[in-house]
Structure 1
Amino acid sequence: MTLLRITEIFYSLQGESNTVGLPTVFIRLTGCPLRCVYCDTAYAFTGGKKIGIDAVMAEVKQYDTKYITVTGGEPLAQQGCIELMTKLLDKGYVVSLETSGALDVSEVDPRVVKVMDLKTPSSGELSRNRYQNIEHLTAKDQVKFVIGNDKDYDWSKGILAEYALSDRCDILFSPMMGRQNPTELAEKILKDRLPVRFQLQLHKILWDDAQGK
């Protein structure tokens, strides 16, 4: 039986991505090889509880929603993550994966909606970006840039152009809380006519926390 180390399973509104606002079940896997300076889920780095995939499926079934987000930590750090997502998809759920982009996504079921972070310079983890992952993105996927300052913004614009990302999938620009003024970022996007979606973290606006509980 495949076991996963799980920090929490909870039901809330999706706070980010292009399904923002939709009732969603979040499965937060424990552990992450990265240490981004803006991380708001450091409590998921360690601990958690080992749970079989069938037990995870049973808990998810309690909630009357078709949307599931598998997150972390970095969920792909656990081998069983891919099996879990495929089983959820086979049950008819719409499954999204929140991943750092530092680990290989090539084995992820193509039905999964990948929401992949590309780490900006101020994240402290710029060197961990796995740019080969871009080749595995399709039109239903999304790439997120967390912008903390002008350097991050200019770098993100450069990556956007270098890889023609907006021709491949949706692009999300998100201001780093406490470092990047959201209005200033929005104005830059409009001034430069970038083909990106500006996003704020809805759960932090509604509940002032990381999870949206």
Structure 2
Amino acid sequence: MKATARPLALKISEIFVSLQGESSRVGLPSVFIRLTGCPLRCVWCDTTYAFNGGQTMSLPEILAEVAHHALPHVCVTGGEPLAQPACLPLLSELSEAGHAVSLETSGALDIGGVDPRVSRIVDLKAPGSGEFHRNRWQNLALLTANDELKLVLKDRADYEWARQLIVDRQLAALCPVLLSPVEGELPAVTLADWILADRLPVRFQLQLHKVLWGKMRGR
């Protein structure tokens, strides 16, 4: 007798509805799928609770939960979503269902297998993160205008690194580039002033969800 294939499953930290707090989609009501697990340990990580735990859900169960919330925009995040191989078919199935899908990834893993309908938000790690050595520089060649680069900066040294990288590699010609300050480390107005002084071709961003709800989980 032929064995029945088991449906694909992923370890899910949480699924919730909120306003998109970052990227060019900021402010849009969205469904967030946060996957459990991450191979990185950035010193300012604000989702350490997603490193472990969560529940195993089949792909059909996840899709049904997303459909229940009746929103067109879906963000798959973590942790590091691409650490789970079944993330790739999840992204494709969400796109096939008609959702506008974005993926928030550390940039440490290969983004080449991601469905081209998905907007890849790649978080390049600055030296102050403690995980700079994990950047997968080959990913830069894979970026399109549908993707975005995010750089979270801790101090002036991180900013100088980012500024040089943006100029030397002409990152703004690849896709939109977003600069964010580390909360509690770099004052937002300071980063804004530096960007304006240097006329950098980037978008400054704060985490809107934290402005509205602080560090409340599920927001």
Provide TM-score, normalisation by structure 2.
0.96
Supply the distance in 2 between the matched residues of 1:203 and 1:96 (Cα, whole angstroms): 17
Number of matched pairs = 213
Residue 5 of structure 1 aligns to a residue in which SS? strand
Residue 22 and residue 116 in structure 1: after superposition, are their counterparts in 2 closer, same or farther (change >3 A)? same
Match of 2:35 among 7, 29, 34: 29
Is 1:129 matched up with 2:131? no
Supply the distance in 1 between the matched residues of 2:58 and 2:194 (Cα, whole angstroms): 46
| 1:210 CA drift (Å) | 5.7
The residue that corresponds to 1:92 in the other structure is 98
Is 1:2 matched up with 2:8? yes
The residue that corresponds to 2:61 in the other structure is 55
Supply the distance in 1 between the matched residues of 2:203 and 2:218 (Cα, whole angstroms): 21
The residue that corresponds to 2:71 in the other structure is 65
Residue 61 of structure 1 aligns to a residue in which SS? helix
Residue 178 of structure 1 aligns to a residue in which SS? coil
Mapped contact 1:25–1:67 kept (Cα < 8 A): yes
Q: Which runs of 5+ in 2 are unaligned?
A: 1-6
Residue 54 and residue 64 in structure 1: after superposition, are their counterparts in 2 closer, same or farther (change >3 A)? same
Q: Whose Rg is larger?
A: 2
| 1:212 CA drift (Å) | 5.6
Q: Alpha carbon RMSD of aligned pairs, Å? A: 0.8
**Residues 72-98 of structure 1: CA deviation (Å, up to 9, x unaligned):** 000000000000000000011000000
Supply the distance in 2 between the matched residues of 1:212 and 1:148 (Cα, whole angstroms): 25
Match of 1:104 among 110, 117, 124: 110
Supply the distance in 2 between the matched residues of 1:49 and 1:211 (Cα, whole angstroms): 16
Is 1:74 matched up with 2:80? yes
Residue 19 of structure 1 aligns to a residue in which SS? coil
Mapped contact 1:15–1:212 kept (Cα < 8 A): no
Provide TM-score, normalisation by structure 1.
0.98
The amino acid across from 1:175 in the alignment is: P
Is 1:116 matched up with 2:116? no
Supply the distance in 1 between the matched residues of 2:17 and 2:164 (Cα, whole angstroms): 37
| 1:158 CA drift (Å) | 1.3
Match of 1:141 among 128, 147, 165: 147
| 1:159 CA drift (Å) | 1.2
Is 1:205 matched up with 2:190? no
| 1:64 CA drift (Å) | 2.2
Supply the distance in 2 between the matched residues of 1:208 and 1:94 (Cα, whole angstroms): 26
| 1:28 CA drift (Å) | 0.3
Q: Which runs of 5+ in 1 are unaligned?
A: none
| 1:62 CA drift (Å) | 1.0
Is 1:168 matched up with 2:174? yes
Percent identity, aligned pairs only, is 54
The residue that corresponds to 2:3 in the other structure is none
Supply the distance in 2 between the matched residues of 1:98 and 1:210 (Cα, whole angstroms): 19
Supply the distance in 2 between the matched residues of 1:58 and 1:142 (Cα, whole angstroms): 28
Residue 154 and residue 191 in structure 1: after superposition, are their counterparts in 2 closer, same or farther (change >3 A)? same
Mapped contact 1:13–1:212 kept (Cα < 8 A): no
Mapped contact 2:16–2:218 kept (Cα < 8 A): no
Supply the distance in 2 between the matched residues of 1:70 and 1:80 (Cα, whole angstroms): 12
| 1:211 CA drift (Å) | 4.5
The residue that corresponds to 2:48 in the other structure is 42
